[in-house]
A and B are shown apart, each in its own frame.
Chain A
Amino acid sequence: MNSLKLRTAGMAVSAAALSISLVACGSSGPAGTGASADSATMWGLTGGDQPVFQASVDSWNKAHPDSAIKLDFFANDAYKTKVRTAVGAGQGPTLVYGWGGGVLKSYVDAGQVDDLTGFLKDNPDVQGRYLPSILESGVIDGKTYALPNNKVQPVVLYYNKEVFEKIGAEPPKTWDELMALVPKFKDAGVAPFSLGGQSKWPDLMWLEYLVDRIGGPEVFANIAANKPDAWSDPAVIEALTKIQELVDAGGFINGFSSIAADSNADQALLYTGKAAMILQGSWIYQGMKKDAADFVSSGKLGYTPFPTVEGGKGDPANVVGNPSNFWSVSSKATEEQKKTALEYVKDGMFNDENVQSLIDSGAVPVVTGIEDKLAASPDKDFLTYVYGMAKDAPDFTLSWDQALSPAQGDAMLANLDQIFLKKITPEQFASTMNATIGK
């Protein structure tokens, strides 16, 4: 009890003193029918899924006026900061939106989220609806703490078919082909790759895929397992060297380090033809479907797996990205709130209406038996491609910044940024990161 008081006091102190002006740009949805101060709460992300979550909660609230849910949305980076501060102060939402991995583990270690293993055992229907490999990402030490709540998100190499046709190029199948394309696009006055470098996490997709293609998934498995000197693996050094070669060749668009991915500026460069390719998560399809409907519907958007690297050990079918996003249930919520939350997870989420609205938004829900629905969608080409990519992947590596502990993840993104800016060498990166192992 004492330590709890101390913690709460500590949180209040740091919130008052450190947060000069915390970015808390939450946007409340329309006031839910009958949602009151005691209602269960839910925090989601702005962007492609926002209307899907809103529709799902709205129809839940209409059908269950006595156990309504209050839903708020936040921008990605702002959310990650806000939710952690709120959970630490015992002010978090009933349903905590997350990515699994190291961040989830830190909540579990602090006793902030409930064990849902019993809930799954009592509700085999819930367990049975998910693709099993994806359910696995919410498991910590054999217990389930988080349940998938939206869509599979492999990282895909998108390209602008129109730009490719103009210079008569084919999408790259190997790293050498990719490097050979760089001068061709530059001569044509088009940037080879768009990149949201200010957000830092898009940089990471390059490292994740290159390390996987060169050294296979074991390299990152060793890093995640906190093996000493795991960052000095030759595959990491080679991947970082390749990234710097691509930067030197002018592979990334002018000013990439000031482009923020949260504002979708990176994908805008692709569909306006200013950049030929972009390596991004499958979720940007939803954004482009909304912001550049003509570009997507006229079939100008191409997508392909990340190229192979000559002599690399990784299976070319391996995928990196986010298996899904997840709901965890806050252990600080009242019994009433928890009951509402779990009932929603059971009956409100992934019902026919919810699955269909996810597919209509241009995403692949993480449930089984949706092949027919995907095939009937106007976006069937992309959706079946993503579904197959995720289902057939021998290995699906979770985004490293989410898989690692928050402190290590932050250090990694800061140092990778320095790699893209050529301020440090791959060896310096490895030694700095080795020092963070176990933190």
Chain B
Amino acid sequence: MSATTTTPPRAPAAKRATDTRRTLEKGPSGWLAVPALAFFMLFAILPLLGVLFLSFTRWDGLGEIKLDGLSSWNTVLADPVTGNALLVTAKIMFFSFIVQAPISLLLGVFTAASQKYRAALAVLYFVPLLLSSAAVAIAFKALLDPNFGLGPGLGLPLLAQDWLGNSDLVLFVVVFVIAWQFVPFHTLIYQGGVRQIPASLYEAAQIDGAGRIQQFFNITLPQLKYTMITSSTLMVVGSLAYFDLVFVLTAGGPGYSTRLLPLHMYLTGFKANDMGAASALGVILVVIGLALALFLQRLGGKNRNASQLEGA
């Protein structure tokens, strides 16, 4: 009632209530989105249009920018290295998902419980999150060195493989190092998701006689549906952006074995100095990224706006 006393006399309480209700229904004023939108236009849409324009030109980064029709696109699409880069990207995406998703789900469930030792372990698990990709890459490069690394150092022939120089092994090494770095992040997401699940569901299941495994599959997993979609989207779309780690670890090599699409774009633009072709690759990258993100959001189903906690 104190609110009504400060209200000017010409705005009766009834009208204010309607206003509040309208705000709740329609959401806050559209003007609130302006700063974010302005930044998005300036730093995302505008450069994107610029890249689209550059993809129709020929430019070495120094001289004149020459309009050149579709020739950059022809170069890029006819180049077998582009196809290979797409394949490598798809492989890394697939294996990264297969490795990271189950591990981070299980770790997330494990660390969500409140025992002290779990909290201590959780802190250890999250350490890689604090390290920069370049530092992680340099550390692993030193550990995996076939002559001075961990294997030869400890005299363990099993660990003394040519991890980064063998075209068949290197992809899995990259997947492993990426997982080492990013599993903690997804664990954190799952941990938060699990902690949101109401305890009453588990209590009810216990009364009905459901065991641990049954509870996991029938309560935890279904309740984590939207967490999974979020985490998977980040994992899959994020794997289109792996660059720094792979660049420092292998520089795309040996040969083209770990030349991911973003790395291929960078090397084309800044090593071969072909900005036109690099821009065309950039456009391809954006299109694939958007398509994947949309597809994963669709997986949420038609009722994705419905409450997760119904019946809780």
Contact = CB atoms under 8 A, between A and B. Distances in A.
B51 A18 contact: yes
A112 interface: yes
A243 B140 CA distance: 30
B163 A14 contact: no
Contact of B147 (A9, A81, A255): A255
A272 to B, nearest CB: 8
Interface of A is mostly: helix
A256 B165 contact: yes
Interface string A86-97: 011000000000
A254 B262 contact: no
- Chain A interface bracket (under 10, 10 to 19, 20 to 34, 35 or more): 35 or more
Given A84-B62, A106-B60, A421 B254 contact: yes
Contacts of A14: 50-51, 54, 61, 269, 275, 278-279
A418 interface: yes
A258 interface: yes
A120 interface: no
A74 to B, nearest CB: 14
Given A7-B65, A18-B51, A417-B255, A407 B274 contact: yes
Contacts, number: 145
B47 A112 contact: no
A232 to B, nearest CB: 21
B238 to A, nearest CB: 12
9 contacts: A10-B59, A14-B50, A17-B50, A18-B278, A106-B62, A197-B165, A258-B141, A274-B147, A407-B273
Interface stretch (B2-10, B190-198, B216-224, B242-250): B242-250
Nearest to A439: B274
Contacts of B269: 14, 18
B51 A3 contact: no
Interface string B233-262: 000000001011001101101111000001
Contacts of B170: 258
Contacts of B253: 197-198, 257-258, 417
B65 A110 contact: no
A88 B62 CA distance: 5
B145 A17 contact: no
B73 interface: no
A260 to B, nearest CB: 8
Given A10-B275, A258-B253, 10 more contacts: A10-B59, A13-B50, A17-B48, A21-B133, A25-B134, A109-B62, A257-B253, A258-B162, A265-B147, A417-B253
- Chain B interface bracket (under 10, 10 to 19, 20 to 34, 35 or more): 35 or more
Contact of A81 (B248, B271, B282): B271
Contact of B50 (A10, A22, A112): A10
Contact of B62 (A110, A256, A265, A418): A110
Given A14-B54, A18-B51, A23 B247 contact: yes
B39 interface: no
A254 B169 CA distance: 14
Nearest to A89: B61
B167 A421 contact: yes
B88 to A, nearest CB: 14
A258 B146 contact: yes
A240 to B, nearest CB: 15
B262 A268 contact: no
B148 interface: yes
B282 A20 contact: no
Contacts of B275: 10, 14
B208 interface: no
B56 interface: no
B43 interface: yes
B272 A406 contact: yes
A17 B47 contact: yes
A410 interface: yes
Interface in B101-137: 133-134
B217 to A, nearest CB: 39
